[in-house]
């Protein structure tokens, strides 16, 4: 049964560069989420032919919001929804799912690196069929809808059990609960030499991956500890929590100080990586050594030939305006394309789609490549592990040699 609910506009639902991001208590206001989702669907024609991804980073209000989105999508006659098991999907894994399944878009519920919990932040990242953030013209059209909305549609049906893989149908909408972990792990194995990385991680090399109680914890446990056979305990803070366990899930020297303290102690690990709440940002640390995001992008680009997926060459590289010119020097040396864009990941997407760049990065701890259309923290970790495995140098030596 489809209900049509009368509503009044919220005039603050203008989208930023990464979607709608508000304090959780604001997003929990009556009809607030419903208005925004209906406004998105109002801008998309032929919904009976469209398929979308739904998932989130596990923060507070995600479980309730996912159920609401499913019911609103059913009421709007959406053809199909792929919903992540347990409601958990990282931003990079979500982009991969959209591209792999030729979906028309997706909704990843995350406020990225912002704090969670009832007093924290909540967000909705709306991705299009590109696998990346919607463009300014699309977000403007959605905002225009939010200013004039007077009703939304919602299906009066039971909540979906997201704890098991299954396929259901309500009204005209097929709902498929999927495992986002295996898909993403398979993608990484198609890019990197896992045998070479496994040799490193099963030696006396000590690695720490800090998921900061965000969504990449389950992905990292599967990839690093199960597939690559790193010792149990390699992945820390791996259980996604609604308030991120009190952590501010932003992987930098301030908010990941607990990891920095380990790496600058008398008994540091050889290598450490931290990811943010939704898995698209990364911080790289060696023994008593911090690699800045700008230098990390330059070093990865300079070592692209060590990675099987890139051995035949890369198109080029791009950076945000605030990122240092280090990567330009690399691009000039390698004689590959180089581009500079305004701050905002969406500006990289057209360069990827037109085969102008393979790698890109920004100053705010984000690096990625054209295997998806988002930043990718685990990809960056695996790239660094590949360099460490093949050069047999320390992080500090790699940086200084570079």
Strand 271-275 versus strand 282-286 pairing type: antiparallel
Global pTM reads: 0.95
Amino acid 7: pLDDT: 95
> Which DSSP string corresponds to 360-377?
EEETTTEEEETTSSS--H
List the chain pLDDT tens, one digit each, 402 residues.
Answer: 898 999 999 998 888 766 888 999 999 999 999 999 999 999 999 999 999 999 999 999 999 999 999 999 999 999 999 999 999 999 999 999 999 999 999 999 999 888 899 999 999 999 999 998 888 888 999 999 999 999 999 999 999 999 999 999 999 999 999 999 999 999 999 999 999 999 999 999 999 999 999 999 999 999 999 999 999 999 999 999 999 999 999 999 999 999 999 999 999 999 999 999 999 999 999 999 999 999 999 999 999 999 999 999 999 999 999 999 999 999 999 999 999 999 888 889 999 999 999 999 999 999 999 999 999 999 999 999 999 999 999 999 999 999
Amino acid 16: pLDDT: 75
Sign of CA dihedral 32, 155, 104, 59: positive
Amino acid 20: pLDDT: 87
**Angle between helix 377-391 and helix 180-191 axes, rounded to 10 deg:** 40
Amino acid 19: pLDDT: 81
Known catalytic membership, residue 112? yes
Q: Cα–Cα distances in Å, from 179 out to 41, 164, 221, 280, 282?
A: 25, 9, 15, 19, 23
Contacts of 165 (CB under 8 A, 6+ apart): 85, 177, 178, 179
Phi-psi category of 46—alpha, beta or left, where left has phi over 0 and alpha has psi -120 to 50?
left
Amino acid 378: pLDDT: 98
From the list 112, 130, 139, 386, the catalytic residue is 112
Amino acid 17: pLDDT: 67
> Which DSSP string corresponds to 12-37?
T---BTTBEEEEHHHHTSTTHHHHHH
């Amino acid at each position: 049964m489809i209900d049509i609910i009368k509503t009044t506009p919220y005039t603050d639902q203008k989208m930023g560069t990464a979607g709608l991001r508000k304090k959780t208590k604001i997003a929990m206001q009556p009809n607030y989420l419903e208005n925004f989702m209906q406004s998105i669907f109002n801008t998309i024609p032929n919904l009976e032919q469209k398929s979308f991804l739904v998932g989130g980073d596990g923060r507070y209000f995600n479980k309730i919001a996912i159920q609401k989105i499913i019911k609103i999508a059913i009421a709007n006659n959406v053809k199909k929804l792929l919903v992540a098991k347990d409601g958990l999907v990282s931003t990079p894994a979500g982009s991969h799912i959209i591209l792999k399944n030729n979906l028309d878009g997706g909704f990843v519920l995350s406020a990225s690196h912002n704090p969670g919990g009832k007093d924290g932040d909540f967000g909705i990242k709306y991705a299009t069929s590109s696998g990346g953030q919607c463009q300014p013209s699309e977000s403007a059209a959605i905002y225009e809808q939010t200013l004039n909305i007077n009703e939304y549609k919602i299906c009066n049906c039971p909540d979906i059990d997201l704890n098991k893989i299954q396929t259901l149908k309500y009204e005209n909408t097929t709902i498929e609960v999927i495992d986002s972990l295996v898909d993403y792990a398979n993608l990484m194995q198609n890019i990197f030499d896992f045998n070479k990385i496994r040799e490193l991680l099963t030696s006396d090399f000590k690695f720490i991956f800090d998921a900061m109680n965000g969504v990449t914890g389950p992905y990292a446990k599967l990839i690093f500890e199960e597939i690559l056979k790193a010792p149990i305990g390699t992945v820390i803070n791996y259980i996604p929590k609604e308030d991120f366990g009190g952590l501010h899930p932003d992987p930098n020297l301030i908010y990941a100080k607990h990891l920095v303290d380990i790496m600058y102690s008398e008994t540091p690990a050889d290598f450490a990586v931290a990811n943010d709440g939704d898995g698209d940002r990364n911080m790289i640390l060696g023994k008593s050594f911090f690699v800045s995001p700008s230098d990390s992008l330059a070093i990865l680009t300079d070592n692209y030939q060590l990675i099987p997926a890139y051995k035949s060459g890369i198109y080029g590289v791009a950076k945000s305006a605030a990122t240092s010119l280090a990567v330009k020097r690399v691009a000039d040396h390698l004689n590959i394309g180089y581009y500079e864009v305004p701050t905002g990941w969406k500006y990289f997407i057209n360069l990827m789609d037109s085969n102008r760049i393979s790698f890109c990065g920004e100053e705010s701890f984000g690096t990625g490549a054209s295997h998806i259309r988002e930043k990718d923290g685990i990809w960056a970790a695996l790239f660094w592990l590949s360099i460490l495995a093949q050069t047999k140098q320390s992080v500090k030596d790699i940086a200084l040699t570079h």
